[in-house]
């Protein structure tokens, strides 16, 4: 029996043309509570906004960077607009090893209602995906509601394509051309959505 512990990449700050991606910290909860305390963000994914204490506890758990049993890597970034310093959203990646040993990342993105329609989800998700590929992530995945055209556009910009797999009413998108019929690509992160937060799975 092997005692080897899976080592996961650690989130680092990433800068884009108009955003700064800050690795998630528990302290972000105070600043982001009002941004995500919005029922409209759950229109496509269900659920409801977290209470202030719940959000803080969730961020503290996610900031650990890995699941308690070590089988998943948890990478989360807050999106801060450089022009005015405001937090506008978040992007995340849940890392797992596939059955054939490849490294897969399930992606999700959320942008606050007041900041949508400005390309923040696309810009932040592209920066995250680029960084993940530099970390030798082999497969990128996302689950998108079939009626959510904005999220589908982000997924397509990331180089993902819809597959024939539907999970809880959401279409699985994948960067793996062979992933067309529900093959195990790993990853169990939240639903992607520029207008709705990822389904909490951590």
Tens-place pLDDT, residues 61-103: 999 999 999 999 999 999 999 999 999 999 999 999 999 999 9
pTM to 2 decimals?
Answer: 0.85
Return the residue matching tokens 């400005």: 118
**Domain extent listing, the chain:** 14-174
Q: How confident is the model at residue 197 (pLDDT cuts 50, 70, 90)?
A: very low
Residue 109 — φ and ψ, nearest 5°? -145, 145
Q: For 103-158, how does the pLDDT look when each residue is reduced to its tens digit (9 = 90+)? A: 999 999 999 999 999 999 999 999 999 999 999 999 999 999 998 999 999 999 99
Q: Is the pLDDT of residue 177 over 90?
A: no
Q: What angle do CA 75, 77, 80 make, to 5 degrees?
A: 175
Q: How far apart are CA 130 and CA 190, in angstroms?
A: 19
Domain 14-174 has CATH 3.40.50.2000: no
Among the listed residues 132, 125, 157, 144, the one whose alpha carbon sits nearest the alpha carbon of residue 191: 144
Number of C-beta neighbours around residue 173 at 10 A: 25
């Amino acid at each position: 029996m092997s005692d080897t512990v899976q080592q996961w990449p650690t989130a680092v700050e990433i800068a884009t043309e108009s955003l700064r991606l800050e690795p998630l910290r528990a302290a972000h909860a105070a600043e982001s509570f009002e941004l995500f305390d919005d029922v409209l963000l759950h229109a496509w994914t269900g659920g409801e906004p977290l209470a202030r204490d719940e959000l803080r506890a969730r961020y503290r758990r996610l900031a650990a960077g890995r699941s308690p049993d070590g089988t998943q890597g948890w990478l989360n970034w807050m999106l801060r607009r450089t022009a005015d310093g405001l937090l506008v959203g978040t992007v995340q990646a849940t890392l797992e090893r596939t059955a054939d040993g490849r490294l897969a990342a399930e992606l999700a993105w959320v942008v606050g209602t007041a900041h949508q329609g400005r390309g923040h989800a696309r810009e932040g998700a592209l920066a995250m995906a680029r960084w993940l590929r530099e970390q030798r992530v082999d497969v990128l995945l996302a689950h998108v509601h079939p009626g959510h055209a904005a999220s589908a556009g982000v997924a397509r910009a990331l180089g993902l394509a819809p597959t024939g797999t539907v999970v809880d009413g959401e279409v699985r998108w994948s960067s793996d051309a062979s992933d067309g019929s529900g093959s195990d690509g790993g990853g169990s992160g939240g639903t992607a959505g520029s207008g709705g937060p990822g389904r909490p799975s951590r």
